[in-house]
Amino acid sequence: MKGSVIALDEIDGRRAAALVVDGTLEDLLVDPADHPGPLPGAIYRGICERPMKGQGGMFLDLGGTRGFLRQAKGLAPGQPLLVQVSGWAEAGKAPAVSTKVLFKSRYAIVTPEAPGLNLSRQVRDEEERVRLLEIADAVMEGSPYGLIVRSSAEGADDGAVAEDIAEMRTLAEAVLGDAQGREPELLVDGPDAHVSAWRDWPVPDVLDEAPGSFETNGIADLLDRALASRQALAGGAYAFVEPTRALVAVDVNTGSDTSLAAGLKANIALARDLPRLLRLRGLGGQVTLDLAPMPKKDRAAFEQVLRAAFRRDGIETTLAGWTPLGHFELQRKRDRLPVEL
């Protein structure tokens, strides 16, 4: 199946979205079964509670739940503070929040603390850059807030881009105007799976929003394969992706290939596909790769491919490097919860 498909459906009453490109499941978003806390991206008026001695952070009352701010310098208990949830929390822990609040939509991001107009570097056509900046300048005229025009605005209709920017500006003005209340309150809810898909995924060849769209487009079968621990790699190699309580373990095998270069080929195949494999299952934290045997001289080539793959992925990932036992470790931001179906 050639082309791209976005299907919006439900799984066990939970909203779910799937992105399929040329028959491969590239991304999956599923709302959590039991809501573990505030959704990432939600904006709150929080009330400072108490600083954490020795940690430099502070807990905030968000109204029915709590958040943890890593920087408490200059803050006092009882002080209202506008914060945004920056990620999911582990069970029993308060989610991390940030005072750098962003208002993000499909075409634009309003940045209250960073004035000025900016355009995604991915938009390289000079005429297109001028067009988008002219639209942004007209809509944001007189605003003290900054704006980033996203790459998804490239080629989009002038009116659609202008309307999107105006909606984000209006939302930012309303929220910041309500930031100084004395009670904790949810001001903007975080996006669910359907909203996130509309906001962050590219325009597909086919958008299927009808009930049962997962079954219609064969996504149910793709999900079964994507969530299995054994994953096929290019060239007949395969890998086991197994999350544990402490870390995510990835074991690479060469399969039936017994050539001298089998290890390098299998490891390169894993490097190219690893961001997708982690993204589909919502896996983050510490990831340890038990790679197929290969000469140390080939490590640089493997790292180069791995670095390029994660650069395209978008989720913050730090490549920590090699261990004395020859494993490769990386640390990945917990942008999502592990998918459990």
What is the DSSP annotation of 141-169?
TT-SSEEEE-GGGTT--HHHHHHHHHHHH
- Same domain for 107 and 92: no
Tokens at 199, concatenated: 């906001």
Token pair, residue 311, equals 């650069």
Rounded to the nearest integer, the mean pLDDT of the chain is 92
Q: What average pLDDT does the segment 242-256 reach?
A: 93
Residues 6+ apart with CB under 8 A from 258: none
- 15 is written with which tokens? 């909203």
Q: Position 96: which residue type?
A: A
Specify the number of domains making up the chain: 4
User: Which of 58, 79, 101 finishes a domain?
Assistant: 101
Strands (E), 65-204: 66-69, 80-85, 96-98, 103-104, 108-111, 117-119, 146-149, 185-188
- The model's pLDDT over 49-82, given as tens digits with 9 standing for 90+, comes to 988 776 678 999 998 888 999 887 888 889 999 9
- 186 part of a folded domain: no
Last residue of a domain, one of 101, 131, 148: 101
pLDDT value of position 338: 86
Residue reference for tokens 């809509």: 139
What's the rounded Cα separation, in Å, for the pair 161 and 164? 5
- Average pLDDT of the residues in 86-115: 89
Is 153 within a domain? yes
307 shares a domain with 252: yes
Q: Is the pLDDT of residue 270 over 90?
A: yes
339 within some domain: no
DSSP state of 337: P
Domain boundary residue among 101, 124, 147? Answer: 101
Within a domain: 308: yes
Tens of pLDDT, residues 195-231? 999 999 998 999 999 999 999 999 989 999 999 999 9
> Same domain for 237 and 163?
no
Q: Are residues 256 and 320 in the same domain?
A: yes
Element (H, E) at 278: helix 262-281
In a domain, 49, yes or no: yes
pLDDT at 244 over 80: yes
Residue 90's domain is classified under what CATH number?
A: 2.40.50.140
pLDDT at 136: 96
Residues 90 and 159 in one domain: no
Check whether residue 237 and residue 150 sit in a common domain: no
Residue 264's domain comprises: 227-332
Q: Same domain for 169 and 200? A: no
For strands 43-52 and 57-61, give the pairing. antiparallel
- One domain for residues 165 and 235: no
Is 129 in the same domain as 153? yes
Q: What is the CA radius of gyration of the chain?
A: 22
* Percent of the chain with pLDDT strictly greater than 70: 98
The whole-number pLDDT of residue 339 equals 85
Q: Dihedral sign, CA of 300, 305, 311, 316? A: negative
- pLDDT of 1 reads 64
